[in-house]
Structure 1
C-alpha cells in the first residue's frame, strides 16, 4: 500500500472554493490580521504572566496553557492558507499535509482538555472553596496540564497512522483551508468507513467527554450560588466564572451546532461549512486574550501596571533628553 503514495505526491488546498478571485487579496489580509492579533494577544498573556508574580495562580496557569495551544493551532493552520491567497501557493506536500493533520487534531484535543481543567478550577473554587487551595495547587495544575498534552497525543497519532498508508490515487484536491482527517481520507481509493468511524468516535469522546463534565460542574456551580443568601455574593461568585464560561462557549457551542445540524438534516454549502469551521477554529484564539484582559480583574490590573510603568519610563526618558 505504501507504494501507492507515489501516485499522489502533494495535495491542493482550495481554501474557500466560492471566493471570487478579486476578493482573494482581501481574504489574505483578513487572515493575516487574524493571525497577527492572535499572536500579539496571546503573547501579551505570556508577558503578563512572566512579569507579574501575582498571576502565578492555578487559573492563570490554565489560561497560559490555553494561550500556548491557541498560538500553536493558529501557526499550524493560518500561514499556509494566507500564502495560498497572497502568493498563489495552495499546494502542500503529502507528508506535510499529514503533519498538519496531526497537529490540527492534537491541538484541538489539548484545547478541549484544558477547558475541562478550567471548569474543574471553577468547580472547586465555588462548590468546595475550603478544599480549593489544598486540591488545586500550582503544582497540581502543572501536572494535570502536562497529562493533558501527553494524553492528547493518542487519538491523533492513531488516526494519522491509520490514514497515512491508504492508497491515494484519485483527486488530490482538499476542499478546506487546512488538512484534516475527513478532508484527506475522502480522497483515498478505498472504503472510508473502517477509518472514518474510529476517527468519529475519537472526536466525540474528546468533544463530549470534557463537555459532559463542564455541564455537570456548572450545574453544581449554579446550585451552590443559589444557596448564597446575599445577592451581591451571588453576583460576585458568578462573575468569577464569566471569563471561563465565555471561553468555553466560544469553543463548544459552534462545534455542537455543526454536529447537531448535520445529524438533523440541516445542510450547508461547501463554502458556508468551511466559513463556519474557520470561524470557530480561528476566532476564539484571537478573542480569548481580550476576554481574559477585560473580564479578569487581576489581568486588567497587571496590564494597567505595565502601561503605567511604560508611561513613567517614557516620561523619565523625555526629561533626561530635555535636561
Structure 2
C-alpha cells in the first residue's frame, strides 16, 4: 500500500477533524492550515519567546537605522542609502512571516486563506532575494570606496544609487512571481494542511496532486542563478578589494582599510550561510528531522533582519557615533 504523505499522518495533532480538511474535491482550497512546527507543538509557547524577541530587536534596530540616517545629514551618502534599503527589506520580510507564526504559537490560529498564503510566499521570496541584491550593491560600494576613492562621489551619485535600487526591486519582484503563479496552477486534491509555520513554496506545492517538478526546478534555478550570481559578483568585488589592500604601504593601513569591510562580510555570512543550508536541506535532507528543517528555514528568515542593524550599528563608526550622541543627550 502506498505510504500516506506526512501532512496526512500528522493531522491528528490538530483540533480539526479529518473530514473537514482531508477532502478530495477542491482544486484551490479557500484556506490552508499551517501546523507550525510538527512534533514540537507542546513547545510552541517556549519557541515563541526567542522568536518574539528576535522580531522586536529586528523592528527596533532597523527603524533606528532609518531614523539615524534620515536625521543626520552627514550620513546622506551611497552606503547609508543602501543600508536604508536593506533595513526596509528586513522589516518587510520579517513582518510578512513572524506575526502569523506568533498567532499560531500563541492563539492556535492556524488558518490562512489561499490568496494570503500566495501573497506571503511572494513577499518571502521577493524580499529575501532583494536582501541579496542589496548586499551586492554594498559590495560595489566598498569596491569603489577602496579601489577608486577619488572618484567615489562621481561614480556613486544619487542617480546611480536610485538606479541600482530600482534594478534590485525589479529583478527580484519579477523573479519571485513564478512562485505564487505556479503554486496557484496546481490542483490540491489531497489535503490543505501545510506542515510548516509559513507558506514556503516547496511545502505548499508538495500538497498538490500533480507533477510539480517544474516548481522544484524553478526553485533550484532561482537559488543558483540569482543567489549564485550575487555571490559571484560579491566574490569578484572582494578579490579586487583584497588586491588593492595588499598594495597599500603598511600593515596598519591595510588592516584599517579592510576593517571597513568587516560589517559587510558579517552581513553576507548572516544571509547566505543559512540560506544555502536551508534550501539544500529542504530538498535533499530527507534524513534531517522535519522539525529541524522547519526551524532552520525559519531562522534563515528571522535572524538576518535582526543581525543586520546590530552589525552595522556596532561596526559603522558614523552610526555608532550618532547612537552614542543620542543616548548622551537623553541622559543630559
Q: Give me the TM-score of the superposition, normalised by structure 1.
A: 0.90
Q: Compared with structure 1, are the counterparts of its residues 119 and 162 closer, same or farther at alpha carbon in structure 2 (3 Å cutoff)?
A: same
Correspondence for 1:178 among 181, 198, 215: 198
SS at match of 1:125: helix
Given that 1:97 and 1:179 are in contact with CA atoms closer than 8 Å, whether structure 2 keeps it comes out as: yes
Given that 2:278 and 2:300 are in contact with CA atoms closer than 8 Å, whether structure 1 keeps it comes out as: no
Runs of 4+ aligned residues of structure 1 deviating over 6 Å after TM superposition are 261-266
CA displacement at 1:165 relative to structure 2: 2.2
Given that 1:176 and 1:183 are in contact with CA atoms closer than 8 Å, whether structure 2 keeps it comes out as: yes
State the partner residue of 2:328. 308
State the partner residue of 2:32. 11
State the partner residue of 2:159. 139
- The range that moved more, 260-269 or 75-84, is 260-269
State the partner residue of 2:142. 122
Mark the runs of 5 or more structure 2 residues left unpaired by the alignment. Answer: 1-24
Given that 1:261 and 1:267 are in contact with CA atoms closer than 8 Å, whether structure 2 keeps it comes out as: no
Given that 1:61 and 1:138 are in contact with CA atoms closer than 8 Å, whether structure 2 keeps it comes out as: no
Correspondence for 2:210 among 183, 190, 201: 190
Aligned length: 308
CA displacement at 1:297 relative to structure 2: 0.5
1:195-251 Cα deviation digits (max 9, x unpaired)? 321232122222111110111111111111111121111011101100111001111
1:83-123 Cα deviation digits (max 9, x unpaired)? 00101111111111001001111111211111110111111
Mark the runs of 5 or more structure 1 residues left unpaired by the alignment. Answer: 313-323
After TM superposition, list the pairs within 5 Å mapping 1:37-116 onto structure 2. Answer: 37-116=57-136
Q: Compared with structure 1, are the counterparts of its residues 231 and 7 closer, same or farther at alpha carbon in structure 2 (3 Å cutoff)?
A: closer
Q: Give me the TM-score of the superposition, normalised by structure 2.
A: 0.88
CA displacement at 1:259 relative to structure 2: 4.8
Given that 2:245 and 2:258 are in contact with CA atoms closer than 8 Å, whether structure 1 keeps it comes out as: yes
Correspondence for 1:26 among 46, 56, 70: 46
Name the structure where helix makes up a greater proportion of residues: 1
1:281 aligns with 2:294: no
Correspondence for 2:238 among 210, 218, 225: 218
CA distance in 2, matches of 1:116, 1:282: 20
1:237-277 Cα deviation digits (max 9, x unpaired)? 10110011100111112223445667887842111111112
